[in-house]
Amino acid sequence: DAGVIQSPRHEVTEMGQEVTLRCKPISGHDYLFWYRQTMMRGLELLIYFNNNVPIDDSGMPEDRFSAKMPNASFSTLKIQPSEPRDSAVYFCASSLHGGRVWETQYFGPGTRLLVL
Amino acid sequence: GENVEQHPSTLSVQEGDSAVIKCTYSDSASNYFPWYKQELGKRPQLIIDIRSNVGEKKDQRIAVTLNKTAKHFSLHITETQPEDSAVYFCAASNTNAGKSTFGDGTTLTVKP
Alpha helices in A24-100 (DSSP H): none
Residues of A in contact with B44 (CB under 8 A): 43, 91, 107
Q: Do A43 and B98 touch (CB under 8 A)?
A: no
Say whether B90 sits in a helix, a strand or coil: strand
Residues of A in contact with B101 (CB under 8 A): 45
- pLDDT tens, residue order, chain B (112 aa): 889 999 999 999 999 999 999 999 999 989 889 999 999 999 999 999 998 888 999 999 999 999 999 999 999 999 999 999 999 999 998 777 777 889 999 999 999 9
Mean pLDDT of A12-36: 96
pLDDT 10s digits, A77-111: 999 999 999 999 999 999 887 544 456 889 999 99
Residues of B in contact with A55 (CB under 8 A): 98-99
B26 in reach of chain A (CB within 8 A): no
Interface test with B, best of A40, A43, A94 (most B CBs within 10 A): A43
Q: Which residues contact B39 (CB under 8 A, 6 or more apart)?
A: B86, B87
Q: What stretch of H or E contains B76?
A: strand B72-77
pLDDT 10s digits, B83-112: 999 999 999 987 777 778 899 999 999 999
Based on the number of CB atoms within 10 Å of its own CB, is A32 exposed (0-12), middle (13-18) or buried (19 or more)?
A: buried
B5 in reach of chain A (CB within 8 A): no
